[in-house]
């Protein structure tokens, strides 16, 4: 996917933010999420303490990533799994296409994996002639619509039941219904058959336990479990940052991810995968491949300031509280990872200059940082991305404007003398405000431009001091 321009982002954001129906849909969905999330948070003895502990465990994992990855791979290989290292998205695609070719596969069943979205795996597999079906209900719906997921956790959050019903009627020939159970059953009937006939299953991973060489997948539909259990060959594609040090860490991370991500105490299905079917086991794949994806993660690891972005457990909580995400929606970002975390990591993963506009898509309110269960300093990272982009490639007029501001701010007397000119300028501005000749139209279209007050704070202070002095003077 090519980078979307800053102009395109602004155009799309403006259009979506003005779509009141869309906004209403998202706000309603998120209100329900907020209620259950708050309820589940209160089930933790000490949510803030749990956040701190999770941040420390991820810090340990990421700061010793090399040794944890080695331990993880050694355990996994000892049980017969084949581990592949992919430095780039292209390498990961080629590794997976190579496995599919070797297995003479035709049909693939896939469970939800943001890493697969990141490397555009479905496109590559379909172009190579494979039939690919998403097994997660939300992913299946957006796949039928030929769309990218709208949200990290809720891929079809932007759709109503009526729209899903119409989609199923058109693509699957089902009878119209807005009953969620009926809609689920329609998808289930199609998908059950796909699990049985698929040659290869592909999953993502929520956590990878270094201590035991196990992959943890947490989900609500049981689809990842079927994807992993039924096809003869299983491929797991995971980012290298999914590592956690110990098995016991899952006791914290699983409920934390469910709480922050979906407002649940725990998701419905929690499975561990540790290799292909072992002698005496009755199910599981005959062959198990794990593809470890770097794709610029090690570059982010080398950045001491923003390395903690690799702590992300992809819960989506920062998206849910972000006032920008809630108004412009997930597709506007034009990236795999949207919302605050997407705006932080996309410039690292895909180019700072091409994606720097995302760091401006923030009010810097800090709600994302507060919501993040692993305490990633998201809003400061957005500021750092702005600074880095500006330092690497300064924009002349921004540089000039800030120099001028700095110059004046250090010379209050000069600033005071210029204020009357500012007032006069504002009067002229009123003649064109909001029109095509308005130089500040980008601002005034959606916000008020405060009028320069008649008296400055310094004027008022001086007048007050004078009045007090006069009172004291006999
Ligand atoms: S940055 Fe934090 S809140 Fe956002 S998705 Fe990652 S873990 Fe969740």
The DSSP result for 128-158, as a single string, is TT-EEEE-SHHHHHHHHTT---SSSS-TTTT
Residues of the chain with pLDDT > 90, as a percent, come to: 85
DSSP string across 273-315: E-SSPPTT-SSS-SEEEEEEE-TTHHHHHT-TTTGGGGG----
Measuring from atom 2 of ligand 1, which residue has the nearest CA? 372
Token pair for residue 395?
């924009």
Q: Report whether 339 contacts 330 (CB < 8 A).
A: yes
47-86 residue pLDDT tens: 999 999 999 999 999 999 999 999 999 999 999 999 999 9
Confidence of residue 458 (pLDDT cuts 50, 70, 90): confident
* pLDDT score for 452: 86
* pLDDT score for 470: 92
Residue 1 has pLDDT above 70, yes or no: no
What's the angle, vertex CA 445, arms to CA 443 and CA 447, rounded to 5?
60
Other beta carbons less than 10 A from residue 303's beta carbon: 15
- Rounded to whole angstroms, how far apart are CA atoms 73 and 242? 13
18 C-alpha to center of ligand 1: Å? 27
256 close to ligand 1 (CB < 6 Angstrom): no
- Rounded to whole angstroms, how far apart are CA atoms 168 and 177? 9
317 close to ligand 1 (CB < 6 Angstrom): yes
Q: Which residues contact 334 (CB under 8 A, 6 or more apart)?
A: 1, 3, 4, 8, 9, 12
Helix (H, G, I), strand (E, B) or coil at 308: helix
- Rounded to whole angstroms, how far apart are CA atoms 208 and 282? 24
Residue 234 has pLDDT above 90, yes or no: yes
Please state the rounded mean pLDDT for residues 192-199.
95
Token pair for residue 339?
């919302």
SS3 content of the chain, % helix, strand, coil (to 5): 60, 10, 30
378-421 residue pLDDT tens: 999 999 999 999 999 988 988 899 999 999 999 988 988 898 89
Q: Report whether 33 contacts 263 (CB < 8 A).
A: yes
Strands 287-293 and 233-239: parallel
372 close to ligand 1 (CB < 6 Angstrom): yes
Rg from Cα positions in the chain: 27
CA distances from 225 to 54, 296, 426 (A): 26, 29, 64
Distance of CA 413 to the CA centre of its chain: 47
Cα first-last separation, the chain: 79
Burial letters for 437-474: b for 16+ Cβ neighbours within 10 Å, e otherwise? ebeeeeebeeeeeeeeeeeeeeeeeeeeeeeeeeeeee
No. of H helices and E strands in the chain? 23, 10
Residue 2 has pLDDT above 70, yes or no: no
315 close to ligand 1 (CB < 6 Angstrom): yes
State the chain's mean pLDDT as an integer.
94
Q: Report whether 188 contacts 227 (CB < 8 A).
A: no
Other beta carbons less than 10 A from residue 102's beta carbon: 10
Confidence of residue 447 (pLDDT cuts 50, 70, 90): confident
Phi, psi of 82 (to 5 degrees): -105, 120
Helix 47-63 and helix 65-78, axial crossing angle in degrees, nearest 10: 80
340 C-alpha to center of ligand 1: Å? 8
Is the full-model pTM beyond 0.75?
A: yes
* pLDDT score for 451: 85
What is the layout of strands, in order, in the sheet containing 200-203?
A: 82-86, 287-293, 233-239, 200-203, 107-110, 131-134
Q: Which residues contact 446 (CB under 8 A, 6 or more apart)?
A: none
Phi, psi of 233 (to 5 degrees): -120, 135
Confidence of residue 138 (pLDDT cuts 50, 70, 90): very high
DSSP string across 165-223: HHHHHHHH-PPP---HHHHHHHHHHHHHHHHHH-SEEEE--SEEETTTTEEEEEESSSH
Which ligand 1 atom sits nearest the alpha carbon of residue 344? Answer: 1
CA distances from 210 to 142, 207, 213, 249 (A): 34, 9, 5, 11
Residue written as token pair 């759709």: 159
Residue 474 has pLDDT above 80, yes or no: no
149 close to ligand 1 (CB < 6 Angstrom): no
- Rounded to whole angstroms, how far apart are CA atoms 386 and 92? 30
Which ligand 1 atom sits nearest the alpha carbon of residue 315? Answer: 8
Which residue of 153, 206, 313, 319 sits with most ligand 1 atoms within 8 Å of its CB, as the best mutation to test the pocket? 313
CA distances from 174 to 135, 145, 179, 405 (A): 18, 16, 13, 63
Confidence of residue 175 (pLDDT cuts 50, 70, 90): very high
Which ligand 1 atom sits nearest the alpha carbon of residue 368? Answer: 3
- Rounded to whole angstroms, how far apart are CA atoms 253 and 251? 6
């Amino acid at each position: 996917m090519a980078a979307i321009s800053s102009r395109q982002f602004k155009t799309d954001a403006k259009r979506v933010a003005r779509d009141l129906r869309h906004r209403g849909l998202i706000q309603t969905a998120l209100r329900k999420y907020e209620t259950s999330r708050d309820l589940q948070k209160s089930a933790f003895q000490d949510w803030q303490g749990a956040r701190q502990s999770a941040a420390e465990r991820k810090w340990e994992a990421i700061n010793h990533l090399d040794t944890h990855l080695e331990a993880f791979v050694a355990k996994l290989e000892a049980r017969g799994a084949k581990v592949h290292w992919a430095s780039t998205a292209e390498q990961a695609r080629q590794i997976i296409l190579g496995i599919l070719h070797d297995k003479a596969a035709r049909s693939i069943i896939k469970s939800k994996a943001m890493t697969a979205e990141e490397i555009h795996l479905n496109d590559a597999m379909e172009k190579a002639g494979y039939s690919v079906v998403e097994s997660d209900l939300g992913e299946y719906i957006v796949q039928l619509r030929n769309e990218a997921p709208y949200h990290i956790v809720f891929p079809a959050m932007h759709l109503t039941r009526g729209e899903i019903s119409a989609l199923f009627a058109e693509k699957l020939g089902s009878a119209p219904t807005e009953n969620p159970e009926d809609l689920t059953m329609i998808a289930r009937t199609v998908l059950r058959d796909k699990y049985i006939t698929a040659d290869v299953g592909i999953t993502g991973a929520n956590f990878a336990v270094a201590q035991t060489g196990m992959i943890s997948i947490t989900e609500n539909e049981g689809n990842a479990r079927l994807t992993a259990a039924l096809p003869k060959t299983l491929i797991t594609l995971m980012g290298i940052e999914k590592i956690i040090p110990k098995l016991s860490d899952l006791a914290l991370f699983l409920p934390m991810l469910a709480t922050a991500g979906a407002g649940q105490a725990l998701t419905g299905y929690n499975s561990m995968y540790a290799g292909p079917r072992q002698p005496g086991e009755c199910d599981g794949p005959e062959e198990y491949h794990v593809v470890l994806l770097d794709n610029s993660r090690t570059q982010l690891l080398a950045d001491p300031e923003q390395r903690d972005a690799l702590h992300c457990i992809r819960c989506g909580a920062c998206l849910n509280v972000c006032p920008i995400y809630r108004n412009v929606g997930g597709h506007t970002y034009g990236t795999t990872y949207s919302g605050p975390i997407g705006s932080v990591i996309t410039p690292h993963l895909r180019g700072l200059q091409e994606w720097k506009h995302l760091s401006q898509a923030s009010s810097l309110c800090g709600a994302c940082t507060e919501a993040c269960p692993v305490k990633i300093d998201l809003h400061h990272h957005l500021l750092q991305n702005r600074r880095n982009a500006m330092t690497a490639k300064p924009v002349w007029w921004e540089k000039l404007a800030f120099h001028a501001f700095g110059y004046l701010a250090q010379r209050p007397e000069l600033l005071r003398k210029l204020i009357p000119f500012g007032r006069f300028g504002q009067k002229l501005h009123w003649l064109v405000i909001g029109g095509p000749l308005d130089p500040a139209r980008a601002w005034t279209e959606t916000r008020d431009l405060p009028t320069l007050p008649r008296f400055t704070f310094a004027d008022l202070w001086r007048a007050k001091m004078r009045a007090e002095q006069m009172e004291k003077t006999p």
